[in-house]
Amino acid sequence: MIQRMMSTASSENVSVSMHDDGIAVVSLDIKNSKVNTLGKALLTELPPILETLENVDDPHVKSVIFISAKKNNFIAGADINIFDEIAVQGKDAIKKQVCQLTQGFFDRMEKGKVKIAAIDGSCLGGGAEFALACHYRIASVNPSTAIGFPEVMLGLLPGAGGTQRLPKLIGVQGLTQDATKLLQCALATARLLNKDLNFTSKTGEMKLPKRGELPWMSAYFEDGIKSYSFLRDFYFGQARKMALKQTNGNYPAPIKIIEVLEGSIAKNALGKDQGYEMEADAFAELALTKESSGLRSLFFGQTSVKKNPFSGAMDVKKVGVLGAGLMGSGIAEVTIAKGVPVVLKDVSAKGLSVGETNIQKSMQDKVKKKRMTSFEKDVTMSRLIGVHNDMPSWKDHIKQCDLVVEAVFEDLSLKHKIVEEMESICKPDCIIATNTSSLPVSEIAKFSSRPHNIVGMHYFSPVPKMQLLEIIPHETTDEKVIATAVQLGLKQGKLPIVCKDVPGFFVNRCLGPYIDESMVLAFEVDDILKLDKALKKFGFPVGPMVLADEVGVDVAFHLHNNLIQDLGVRMSGANIEAMKAIKAAGIKGKRFGCGFLVYPPKKASGLAALNPFASKPSPTPNPVALEAMKPFMKPGKA
């Protein structure tokens, strides 16, 4: 009978296997796709399969375990392409075809036999909601394993019951935890060391806690929020303040999530039909906002650049990084973090030590935040080989590299010397990448004996946090070199864009005039922090003054001098005298403790000495933001 049940249960994208211990293993594997998504295939094929498993009278069928046949992926999320097709039909269509369909399916999943999500890899959005509908979640100890709700960054909220199930699982108070704590402390009932996830042999041995049990303190707090309106008003009022502080009001989803939670709890509807209805209403409203439309468009753009359009990429087994400063150590860090060994070279032992210490501190910070274990940190650091000029063996290490990135100061003659030296040391097919921010790559390759192997790879500071990577080929760069640079960038977790070898490339062609205009405005307002706040309100993650400090005021000044020669009138609005005064004062930026802002240990504050000409009252935020944005937008249209 079990064999007959198996043959009727399996389908094109879902297969079922029975084990002697009474566990039905359901394997998810959407054909012709690198990842599983919660789209038409799964939502069509899974319900009848689960119905068959639930209706089996054989007492040996005790539970169902969901696994994925995909590498490093459980369910990546909902199919956004299908969602956009539904969105044009209006709010009711979104509620019915997106929310109510999945809510109903997950509601049926919760009932009947025990269901376990065996998660190895990404479990995001709709995938995380699928896991929430299971009775237990078991996660592998795999760096790729992540459970979360990134749809919030698409201007949406979890619309398949996530806003109702998550609070019941971890408590309303637990919603303020970061994603890593949610994974380790709440969403994952247990974590297994073996990456192969042999759940059938392990599940019976585990003592799984009762579902929905909260520690007594959390339970006491939950009861208070549900019972007393004044406590509920205070808690959700604070939650709104936190959300607005983090998003500057530019992301509508967090506020909507708070409204749904507050309304569900106030009406005693959490996890009930009325709560699900409130969630569906909010989801549909968000889906039709211009913010969500824009964020989804951005998502599609980011997805497209994650595909390498160039062919012939070489396998990069070891990377060399020249210069152990802020940029060099950052490039080395993101490379070793993805499993690629790095030779980090500096001219001196002292410089190398600073770079290695920066990487070590960054890794240790991840351990403290439980984003990696101490063992994983040690394994990652073991991929780093530090060398300097006084070590006789440094050339032997560089010879082994397939790609070398130079991350030294923006000086053309210095870069010429480095290219010449590397070509005399490296193997003939080694790619030499320059992390220039403004110098023409063609000029750097001008005196090269192998110009076809030279390409620009412009990272942004701080490298571990900034996703964008500009790939800049010059006229004679081989396609396989471009392909390899893009492939390495993707492996490092970057979003690589291929730019023309023109002044400023793409980003600085826009950013240079923007920062110049911001510097002019900085001398016209009574508090430069107001200028930064205005631009953050406009939508930037940081304001122009903080950005200049992060990049380095000295670097920004050097960039200005390079760009003004090529962009001419586009860079003519800068307050040159003010910039010269800043340079003469020795103001260099955040890494030196003082830039446009001073950086005491706890909080940044405006440096009044840099604003001696402030005589006008501070303008309102929006005019300042728009004024600073004008030179930023013009080059983007050109």
Q: Is the pLDDT of residue 13 over 90?
A: yes
Q: Is the pLDDT of residue 269 over 60?
A: yes
Choice among 109-123, 165-179, 329-343 with the minimum mean pLDDT: 165-179
Per CATH, 2-297 and 507-637 having the same topology is answered: no
Mean pLDDT, the chain, integer: 83
* Distance of alpha carbon 419 from alpha carbon 434, whole angstroms: 9
pLDDT tens sequence across 178-196: 434 444 444 555 555 444 4
Pair type for strands 597-598 and 605-606: antiparallel
Q: Tell me if the domain spanning 507-637 has CATH number 1.20.1440.230.
A: no
- Please provide the CATH number assigned to the domain covering 319-498: 3.40.50.720
| Average pLDDT for 583-593 | 75
What is the residue-wise DSSP string for 474-535? Answer: -TT--HHHHHHHHHHHHHTT-EEEE--SSTTTTHHHHHHHHHHHHHHHHTTSS-HHHHHHHH
More confident residue, 269 or 331: 331
Q: Is the pLDDT of residue 607 over 50?
A: no
Choice among 50-59, 81-90, 227-236, 298-307 with the minimum mean pLDDT: 50-59
Catalytic, out of 151, 333, 423, 470? 470
More confident residue, 628 or 37: 37
Nearest CA-CA partner of 578 in 603, 609, 549, 602: 609
Listed in sequence order, the DSSP H helices in 369-503 are: 374-381, 394-399, 412-425, 441-444, 479-491
Please answer whether residues 159 and 99 qualify as being in contact, where contact means their C-beta atoms are separated by less than 8 angstroms. Answer: yes
| Average pLDDT for 344-357 | 97
Please answer whether residues 400 and 357 qualify as being in contact, where contact means their C-beta atoms are separated by less than 8 angstroms. Answer: no
Q: Return the CATH class of domain 2-297.
A: alpha beta
Q: How many CA atoms lie within 13 A of 583 on its CB side?
A: 13
Annotate 14-28 with b (16+ C-beta within 10 A) or e (fewer): bbbebeeeebbbbbb
Per-residue pLDDT at 626: 56
> pLDDT band at 428, cuts 50/70/90?
very high
The amino acid sitting at 61 is V
Domain range list for the chain: 2-297, 319-498, 507-637
* Distance of alpha carbon 419 from alpha carbon 322, whole angstroms: 11
Annotation marks residue 12 as catalytic: no
Please answer whether residues 173 and 218 qualify as being in contact, where contact means their C-beta atoms are separated by less than 8 angstroms. Answer: yes
pLDDT tens sequence across 486-544: 999 999 999 999 999 998 899 988 888 888 788 778 777 777 778 888 888 888 888 88
Backbone angles phi, psi at 357, to 5 degrees: -65, -40
